[in-house]
């Protein structure tokens, strides 16, 4: 059992998470970690939760770092990036036998006691350091250049040395862990609440969205709608929204941030979900399939692992507006089966994720 240590003493487990501010895919992973280890404290850099985060993670269970004490830090915590390795190393976790971290920045930098086990669930090596530096290097991220970028990369590599067992959220990320850190990683796909979605027949509009940032390439979906004249609904908010609204034609509608219930309804009513960017895994394509809807996705990144080309959607290779338009035309001619999409989404259920995490920790402890 993963909740037992050697002899009769209970195993002491610490959960480590980058920050708890707003709900997202990494917070969903932490929710499952908390279910597998219900008594484990949660250590995080900053705890300024939105209502959904506050409801799921009681403040009595959350412990913070020195960064949390900075006045108003919830509004600017990303720019404290150079301080994050130092803040994590200051944590005193020597009393724990198992550290389970959820990391996409520097949470993996925590120190452990000799003989303790650190299992890192890696959502991605930091993109802004290794892969998408130019994309992120806008606004305050312009500071990530030259000597500071080189120093942060060294800090990231040093932090990776403290991890005993790596778990990646996709094969795509596992390959990057191997390339950047020289480590092998087991793949456990992240949890998706597929039961929250009912299988639907869909409607006449196409759907795209999420956090409106450059690398998600929502601009490709907007330009495709302008060119082909189809109805497109874009949900979500972010720094790209104004630029996207300026380029949008009359068939494109922006609805802003949506609740989970509103998202479920949008997915149920769409003709297909458009996913033109490259992501480490991508929860939304799975949610669309859980609703029985096909996905039109660029054949890069995690979408190659969650979408079955020709069965639950269309994967296209041509990374251009024209390539997306052709893929949408192709999808329009296919008699998609909602039950097949739903069955594929079931592969990514929360219960499956928690069982696989529990088994991975048991195996890692057994190999000590």
Q: Give the pLDDT confidence of 46-81 residue by residue, as tens digits.
A: 998 888 888 889 888 899 998 998 988 878 888 899
Calculate the CA dihedral of residues 124, 235, 325, 132 and round it to 10 degrees.
Answer: -30
Per DSSP (E only), the strands in the chain are 13-17, 42-44, 62-64, 98-103, 117-122, 165-168, 185-187, 205-209, 232-235, 252-256, 270-275, 295-298, 313-316
Element (H, E) at 17: strand 13-17
Average pLDDT, rounded, for the chain: 92
> What's the pLDDT band for 164 if we cut at 50, 70, 90?
very high
pLDDT(143) > 60:
no
pLDDT(180) > 80:
yes
User: In sequence order, which residues have a C-beta less than 8 Å from that of residue 175 and are 6 or more positions away?
Assistant: none
Fold category of 13-191+349-366 in CATH: Rossmann fold (3.40.50)
Cα gap 26→221, rounded to integer Å? 25
Cα gap 63→51, rounded to integer Å? 18
* φ, ψ (nearest 5 deg) of residue 16: -125, 130
User: In sequence order, which residues have a C-beta less than 8 Å from that of residue 361 and are 6 or more positions away?
Assistant: 2, 36, 98, 100, 119
User: Domain 194-347 carries which CATH code?
Assistant: 3.40.50.2000
What is the pTM (predicted TM-score) of this model?
0.91
- Strand ordering across the sheet containing 117-122: 62-64, 42-44, 13-17, 98-103, 117-122, 165-168, 185-187
Q: How many CB atoms lie within 10 A of CB 341?
A: 24
Question: pLDDT value at position 111?
Answer: 94
HSE-up of residue 298 (Cα within 13 Å, Cβ side): 23
> What's the pLDDT band for 8 if we cut at 50, 70, 90?
very low
pLDDT(92) > 90:
no
Mapped onto helix, strand or coil, the DSSP state of residue 288 is helix
Cα gap 98→366, rounded to integer Å? 13
Q: Residue ranges per domain, the chain?
A: 13-191+349-366, 194-347
Cα gap 279→176, rounded to integer Å? 12
Q: How many CB atoms lie within 10 A of CB 145?
A: 11
Question: pLDDT value at position 139?
Answer: 46
- Which of the residue ranges 134-148, 208-222, 226-240 would you say has the lowest mean pLDDT? 134-148
Question: pLDDT value at position 75?
Answer: 84
């Amino acid at each position: 059992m993963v909740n037992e240590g050697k002899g009769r003493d209970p195993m002491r487990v610490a959960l480590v998470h980058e920050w708890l501010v707003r709900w997202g895919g990494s917070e969903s992973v932490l929710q499952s970690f908390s279910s597998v280890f219900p008594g484990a404290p949660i250590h995080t850099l900053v705890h300024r939760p939105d209502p959904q985060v506050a409801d799921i993670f009681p403040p009595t269970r959350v412990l913070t770092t020195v960064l949390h004490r900075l006045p108003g830090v919830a509004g600017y915590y990303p720019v404290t990036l150079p301080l994050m390795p130092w803040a994590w190393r200051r944590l005193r976790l020597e009393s724990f036998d198992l550290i389970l971290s959820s990391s996409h920045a520097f949470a993996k930098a925590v120190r452990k006691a000799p003989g303790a086990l650190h299992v890192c669930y890696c959502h991605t090596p930091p993109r802004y350091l290794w892969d998408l530096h130019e994309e992120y290097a806008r606004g305050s991220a312009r500071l990530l250049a030259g000597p500071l970028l080189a120093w942060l990369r060294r800090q990231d590599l040093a932090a990776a040395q403290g991890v005993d067992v790596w778990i990646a959220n996709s094969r795509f990320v596992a390959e990057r862990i191997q390339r950047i850190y020289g480590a092998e990683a087991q793949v456990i796909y992240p949890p998706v609440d597929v039961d929250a979605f009912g299988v639907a027949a869909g409607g006449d509009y196409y759907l795209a969205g999420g956090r409106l940032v450059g690398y998600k390439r929502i601009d490709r979906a907007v330009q495709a709608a302008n060119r082909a004249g189809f109805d497109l609904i874009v949900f979500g908010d972010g720094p790209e929204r104004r630029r996207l609204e300026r380029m949008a034609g009359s068939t494109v509608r922006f609805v802003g941030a949506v609740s989970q219930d509103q998202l479920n309804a949008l997915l149920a009513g769409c003709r297909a979900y458009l996913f033109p960017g490259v992501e480490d895994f991508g929860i939304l394509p799975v949610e669309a399939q859980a609703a029985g809807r096909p996905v039109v996705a660029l054949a890069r990144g995690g979408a190659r692992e969650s979408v079955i080309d020709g069965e639950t959607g269309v994967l296209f290779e041509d990374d251009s507006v024209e390539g997306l338009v052709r893929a949408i035309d192709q999808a329009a001619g296919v008699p998609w089966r909602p039950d097949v999409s739903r069955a594929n989404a079931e592969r990514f259920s929360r219960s499956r994720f928690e069982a696989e995490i529990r088994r991975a920790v048991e195996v890692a402890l057994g190999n000590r």
